[in-house]
Structure 1
Amino acid sequence: MLNSLRNAAGTWVAKLLLLMLVLSFAIWGITGKMMEGHGSNKVITAGSTSVSINEFRLAYDRQVNLMSQQFGQRLSRDQAKALGIDNQVLAQMVAGALLDEQARKMGLGLSKDRLAALTAEDPAFRGPDGRFNRQQFDYVLRQIGMRPDDYFANRSQVAIRQQVIEAVSDGLKAPDTLLRAVALYRGEDRTVDYLVLPKSLVEPITAPSNDVLSAWFEENKKKYAAPEYRKFSYVKLEPSDIADEKSITDEQVREDYEKNKALYTTPETRTIEQIVFKSPEAANAALDSLKGGATFDKIAAAEGKTEADTLLGTLAKDKIADRAVADAAFSLAVNEVSPVVQGQFGPVLLRVTEIKPEVVKPLDEVAGDIRKRLALAEANRVLLEVHDNYEDARTAGDSMADAAAKAHLKMVTIDAIDRAGQRPDGTPIDSLPQPQQLVQAVFQADVGADNPPVNLGAAGYVFYEVEDITAARDRTLDEVREKVVADWTKVETEKRLAAKGEELRKRLSDGTSFDTLASELSLDKQTKRGLKREADDGDFGRAGVSAVFGVAQNGVGLFPSPTGDAEILFKVTEVFEPAGADANSVPEDLKKQFATGIADDLLDELVAKLQTQYSVEVNRNAVDQALAF
């Protein structure tokens, strides 16, 4: 919100959207006058600065577009109004107008050269080379529906407003006194004694009478309502559905095998060792030593080489970068030492210690995979033709079943499904293709309607037809009695356990010892040490830790266990302040958050001050005109 404009981070598009949120405050908190006049094309006037109907509508449309992207669907006018977007935009533009008026009074401006530099610096407009790219600039503006002139006007406005904001908030830091208090607060740890109060303390719970159960059911009837169910059929079309392996001949398989034999070939590999010498003379002397009875290993040791130094690796010939070394190594027998080879890094002697010969998978071993791949390739080629034939059959009046049969496709019928993709018994239907999109489409379709298919990946379709709709309804108690009894029992148990826990908490608070309570209840008193304020403790959870730090030393409390099957009664027995807590022990990101909060407060004060200096008028008739479709 307030810090978004000040930070001015990210792409220019993001900065523009953040600008639309700058200094947002409740529209009804504006102290200016609400105009009811007719004929003016000014939505907002702040001193001598005004916002036109077109400017307001542009800002409104952008905000609607942004929210629509977040919701994944285009918001209607009524939906936008329900979200309060019109008032949000109005408040944002009033704040912006106040800043613009202050900038005007101060005589602030922006040169063309500086505006050009700001535009060129924006990462959103950079091309592949990292520099400003005019085509990228034009593309980004088209995406948000903005003309270049509008962009430059808005970019200039952003920069000028930024000057006002930076004058108030730039360089602010949180005081060390505050940061030390934060360090003490964050670093404190506690020791607590606690009892885990199980449900067995209040169980068993007697089954409720019919009157009690009926009353409870009526209060919670909506929880047990039957959702809307739909019966529909679908036909899936993707390459695997129409691939016909029988249509692929043995000759086609054989030809593909020969053409792509490299795919089925594991090349010969050799384990190669090498000794690199400083000079040809040293290499030749070593070779003479070999001929005189010395071994490769002794020569390597004499050169100060370890086994790791000499091992080049187990490699195929084409994986050896040095062609001379590759040719020489692949001409040797096992344990044979090469003549001196002039390698890229100097003269070398080579030895091959193991040879794994080339392996070619026989045709019989891979024929099935080849046949399947060729059938899928052919299916991909004719997929659109099958799609069109199916659609033509439907257009001609064929039922889904008949059209599917003609295309050799399978029709599947789902007798009942709710919006969550579940059957009436609550079990999920896992077999649906593209389930989320398909279910959503089914619940937007009418019975018997001809619907566009749901796309299935990059090359596939799901055709569907709604056959019947079972409307949502309230279930009777008899239909769900077993579940209602279980739910009532669970809630009643939790209620009674919480009441029991509160009784014990009060006794503990009044002076009864933990040991006495533990003995009475036949429970073990437990102790937890070193509990930190921001911990997500495995036994207490975040809520439990918050409860522990919500009382003073020797304070007591009660909270539900994270597992939901018990209450935890506790007493804080020790509180320890962290040693050496000071401003430097606060993380940098937290320091920035506090500095941002202080800056936000100052900016709030600035806006409040500007409202007293400049008369703000909002023309509601112009607002309505701007929002009229």
Structure 2
Amino acid sequence: MIQGFRKLFQSPLGLALTLGFVALIALAFASADITGSGFGGIAGSERVATVGDQKITTSQLRTTVGSAFEQARENNPTATMEDFLEAGAIDNLLDQMIERYALYDFGLSKGMRIGDSLIGSELTQMAAFQGPDGKFSQDLYNQAIQRRGLSDQMVREDIGQGLVSRMLLVPTTYGDKAPLNVARRYAGLLNETRHGGVALIPSPAFIDQEPVDDAVLKKYLADNRDTYMLPERRTIRLATFGAEVLGDAARPTEAEIAERYKANASQYAAREEREFEQLIVPTEAAANALKGQIASPSQLRAVAEKQGLETNTVTATSRQQLASTSTPQVAAAVYDAASGSIVGPVRGPLGFYLIRIGKVTPVAARGIDAVRGEIAEAIGQEKTRSLMADRASQIEDRLQSGASLADVAKSLNAKVTTTPPLTEDGSVFGEGEVDPSEARLAQTVFAMQPGGDAQIAASMDGQRYVIFEPGEVTRAAPPPFDDIKDVLTRNYKLEQGSEKAKAAADKVMAAIKGGKTLSEALAALDVRTPPVDSIDLSRRQLMAQRQQRGIAPPLALMFTMAPKTAKRLEAPNGLGWFIVSLDSIDVPELADDDPIIAQTQAELSRLRQQELIDQLRVAIAKEVPVTRNDNAIAAVRTQLAPQRN
């Protein structure tokens, strides 16, 4: 798992953090909310690094590491933060952040400045904030940054950093192209065709049919103990409970319903839903110029499209809702105008808005009787969560005081059950089936001492709790000799046959070196072998095979050999030995208009351009002074995985 994380940090993620927009938070928009509730012990504004005149705070580092971890968990749900940090997450991600800030500081020192209008233009093109119609949605944008504890300023500052990085690095590649002659040479390799043969000398052909003495098999088992080791297995004794233990305690009272209705009176008051079409441009002058071209409100979209711009349609559920997701000025403009009219320009969060008012739908006030059901349901859910958490806390105290699983389950009227023997990954031993909920418990139980005290945890759906403890433990050990004697016999004979097959392969290699063909050398053996597979394959065909089903090891070996040579290769699982013989190589000339030349030139050009970008990026990073705060970095590490210390 740790090796997998290390490969992640060597992937193009680093380049994405350099050139991509919203490097600090982009991962957060594609994953769960990981901002947390604070830093407990250090301020979120404390510096982990100073890069030129820029600073990287503890909160920025923690958010970036947490976001990257959540993305990694999409591919490996069983990943833990401890493994992620062990693989070097903090150091690698901080290095990437420092490099990005170095580019930004360098750009500012050379006079680069990014205007608000350019940032707004880039923001409207980000896919994360586009609605079903493919256009920018102010509501989606506001909801996304609010859910993750971000601000509009944070997003805009990060987009500005990305633009500076792009302006510095991308021009490096303008006009660079791989030479045509170099591309032709590389493309010619794809046209190369190799001629030869592959033969298999199978181990089973050399197996002795005589019985094997038990003493020999027992020694073989002792020598290969790890191969036949059965994993440790543990059962889990558990009991679950949910809201049924609360009885009527979570049922909302009339007083609670009335109080909630009063507290949210504005939510149930009479209101208007308004649909409007908006056009956003960077400057007020541009908005006024466009407005001057509109003869009637219905022409807003046509005028925008004529200028290569787009409008988008928004539905506001109330004046208050629109003011909170946009600005009070935009809300006032929308709700003070008549249906069918056009208003603006008005200043909004992304620029200047021209707005055409569409359908206006009055929504009558809802009395307490009309909303009693939904209020009661909301209060009931809140009380259930709170009371269940309290009950779980009480049970945890009882368990820590020595109460047994059986006693606690009895007080809850819950049934104690026992799982089948599980391996550490949660799979049922001998079956391989994995129950996700039991897999999570198994990881905890395998970390507990046998006979350890019971623990309590929330279920995966968050609706119930489970009390659990280790059950029967079966230590890792080989199975009884008699149970696997047949397997040992087969594997032992196959191993002996493989040694004899290897000796036969050496004879074939010597015969080929002496001038015989592969077929002639095989015919001289005392055993019958499968016929030789003749190979006539181009490198282009080999690449196509790799994309479809992978490359067989003998073929991969053949394309590394010199003509008139032969090599030996062990077959998987000890099943024999391959003899790979390469007779000749043909390299036909490519036609001047062969499309593979242009394709190869484009790929080589891309690699050259990336190399130029990397060289400039590294050179700039070396020019900007960097100071790290090791204490703050260590504090972030501790907060992300306290159990490591």
Please say whether Structure 1 and Structure 2 have the same fold, judged by a TM-score greater than 0.5: yes
2:585 is the alignment partner of 1:571? no
C-alpha contact 1:228 1:418 (8 A) present in aligned 2 = yes
2:622 is the alignment partner of 1:618? no
| Alpha-carbon distance in 1 for matches of 2:219, 2:194 | 45
Query: By how many angstroms is 1:96 displaced?
Result: 1.6
Residue of structure 1 aligned with 2:534, choices 510, 521, 527: 527
| AA matched with 1:189 | T
Change (3 A) 1:468 1:624: closer
How many equivalent residue pairs? 447
Q: TM-score, normalised by structure 2?
A: 0.57
DSSP 3-state at the match of 2:472 = strand
2:165 is the alignment partner of 1:161? yes
2:236 is the alignment partner of 1:229? no
What is aligned with 2:615?
605
C-alpha contact 2:49 2:56 (8 A) present in aligned 1 = yes
Query: By how many angstroms is 1:591 displaced?
Result: 5.6
2:478 is the alignment partner of 1:475? yes
C-alpha contact 1:64 1:80 (8 A) present in aligned 2 = yes
Change (3 A) 1:123 1:422: closer
What is aligned with 1:435?
435
Query: By how many angstroms is 1:216 displaced?
Result: 4.8
| AA matched with 2:536 | R
1:412-423 map, 5 Å: 415-419=420-424
Query: By how many angstroms is 1:9 displaced?
Result: 8.9
Query: By how many angstroms is 1:585 displaced?
Result: 2.8
| Alpha-carbon distance in 2 for matches of 1:168, 1:455 | 50
| AA matched with 1:594 | L
Q: CA deviation digits over 1:139-181, x for unaligned, max 9?
A: 3224544322111111110111111111223564433233323
Residue of structure 1 aligned with 2:184, choices 180, 191, 195: 180
Q: CA deviation digits over 1:507-526, x for unaligned, max 9?
A: 32343332431321254344
| AA matched with 1:56 | L
DSSP 3-state at the match of 1:107 = coil
DSSP 3-state at the match of 2:585 = strand
What is aligned with 1:337?
none
Query: By how many angstroms is 1:467 displaced?
Result: 7.3
Change (3 A) 1:624 1:427: closer
What is aligned with 1:365?
none
Change (3 A) 1:451 1:199: same
C-alpha contact 1:60 1:89 (8 A) present in aligned 2 = yes
| Alpha-carbon distance in 2 for matches of 1:11, 1:96 | 9
Residue of structure 2 aligned with 1:548, choices 558, 563, 577: 558
| Alpha-carbon distance in 1 for matches of 2:101, 2:491 | 56
Change (3 A) 1:515 1:490: closer
| AA matched with 1:226 | L
Query: By how many angstroms is 1:465 displaced?
Result: 6.2
C-alpha contact 2:564 2:584 (8 A) present in aligned 1 = yes
Residue of structure 2 aligned with 1:559, choices 565, 569, 586: 569
| Alpha-carbon distance in 2 for matches of 1:144, 1:582 | 55
| Alpha-carbon distance in 1 for matches of 2:417, 2:106 | 67
DSSP 3-state at the match of 1:571 = strand
C-alpha contact 1:168 1:603 (8 A) present in aligned 2 = yes
DSSP 3-state at the match of 1:533 = helix
| Alpha-carbon distance in 1 for matches of 2:575, 2:190 | 30
Change (3 A) 1:157 1:477: same
| AA matched with 2:476 | R
Query: By how many angstroms is 1:83 displaced?
Result: 1.3
- Where does the alignment leave 5 or more consecutive residues of structure 2 unmatched? 1-11, 31-44, 242-383, 399-403, 640-645
**RMSD (Å), alpha carbons:** 4.8
What is aligned with 1:262?
none
DSSP 3-state at the match of 2:227 = helix
What is aligned with 1:344?
none
| Alpha-carbon distance in 1 for matches of 2:58, 2:419 | 52
Residue of structure 1 aligned with 2:99, choices 95, 102, 105: 95
Change (3 A) 1:617 1:487: farther
Q: CA deviation digits over 1:265-319, x for unaligned, max 9?
A: xxxxxxxxxxxxxxxxxxxxxxxxxxxxxxxxxxxxxxxxxxxxxxxxxxxxxxx
| Alpha-carbon distance in 2 for matches of 1:110, 1:163 | 10
What is aligned with 1:134?
138
1:138-537 map, 5 Å: 138-170=142-174, 172-204=176-208, 216-231=220-235, 415-419=420-424, 426-427=430-431, 435-442=435-442, 444=444, 449=454, 468-475=471-478, 478=481, 482=485, 483-521=487-525, 522-523=528-529, 524-531=531-538, 532-534=541-543, 536=545
Change (3 A) 1:135 1:215: farther
What is aligned with 2:61?
56
Q: TM-score, normalised by structure 1?
A: 0.58
Query: By how many angstroms is 1:205 displaced?
Result: 7.6
Q: CA deviation digits over 1:366-411, x for unaligned, max 9?
A: xxxxxxxxxxxxxxxxxx9xxx9xx99x99x9979x99xx99x9x9
C-alpha contact 2:187 2:600 (8 A) present in aligned 1 = no
| Alpha-carbon distance in 2 for matches of 1:204, 1:505 | 24
Query: By how many angstroms is 1:221 displaced?
Result: 2.6
Query: By how many angstroms is 1:60 displaced?
Result: 3.3
DSSP 3-state at the match of 1:552 = coil
Query: By how many angstroms is 1:184 displaced?
Result: 1.6
| AA matched with 2:123 | T
Query: By how many angstroms is 1:603 displaced?
Result: 2.5
C-alpha contact 1:232 1:468 (8 A) present in aligned 2 = yes
What is aligned with 1:36?
none
| Alpha-carbon distance in 1 for matches of 2:108, 2:554 | 54
| Alpha-carbon distance in 2 for matches of 1:211, 1:170 | 74
What is aligned with 2:72?
67
What is aligned with 1:108?
112
2:605 is the alignment partner of 1:595? yes
What is aligned with 2:364?
none
Change (3 A) 1:467 1:161: closer
DSSP 3-state at the match of 1:470 = strand
C-alpha contact 1:49 1:97 (8 A) present in aligned 2 = yes
- Where does the alignment leave 5 or more consecutive residues of structure 1 unmatched? 19-39, 238-383
What is aligned with 1:25?
none
| Alpha-carbon distance in 1 for matches of 2:574, 2:150 | 53
Larger radius of gyration, structure 1 or 2? 1
Query: By how many angstroms is 1:188 displaced?
Result: 1.9
Change (3 A) 1:86 1:475: same
Query: By how many angstroms is 1:132 displaced?
Result: 1.7
| AA matched with 1:558 | R
| AA matched with 2:202 | P
C-alpha contact 1:183 1:582 (8 A) present in aligned 2 = no
Change (3 A) 1:220 1:97: farther
| AA matched with 1:137 | Y
| Alpha-carbon distance in 2 for matches of 1:61, 1:540 | 35
| AA matched with 1:72 | P
Query: By how many angstroms is 1:572 displaced?
Result: 1.6
Change (3 A) 1:148 1:579: same
| Alpha-carbon distance in 2 for matches of 1:5, 1:591 | 28
| Alpha-carbon distance in 2 for matches of 1:43, 1:158 | 21
| Alpha-carbon distance in 2 for matches of 1:61, 1:604 | 26
Change (3 A) 1:436 1:181: farther
C-alpha contact 2:568 2:579 (8 A) present in aligned 1 = yes
| Alpha-carbon distance in 2 for matches of 1:80, 1:177 | 45
| Alpha-carbon distance in 1 for matches of 2:622, 2:22 | 34
Aligned-pair identity (%): 14
Further displaced range: 194-203 or 119-128: 194-203
Query: By how many angstroms is 1:598 displaced?
Result: 1.8
Query: By how many angstroms is 1:131 displaced?
Result: 2.2
Residue of structure 2 aligned with 1:85, choices 89, 105, 114: 89
| Alpha-carbon distance in 2 for matches of 1:539, 1:166 | 37
Q: CA deviation digits over 1:2-38, x for unaligned, max 9?
A: 65468759999657899xxxxxxxxxxxxxxxxxxxx
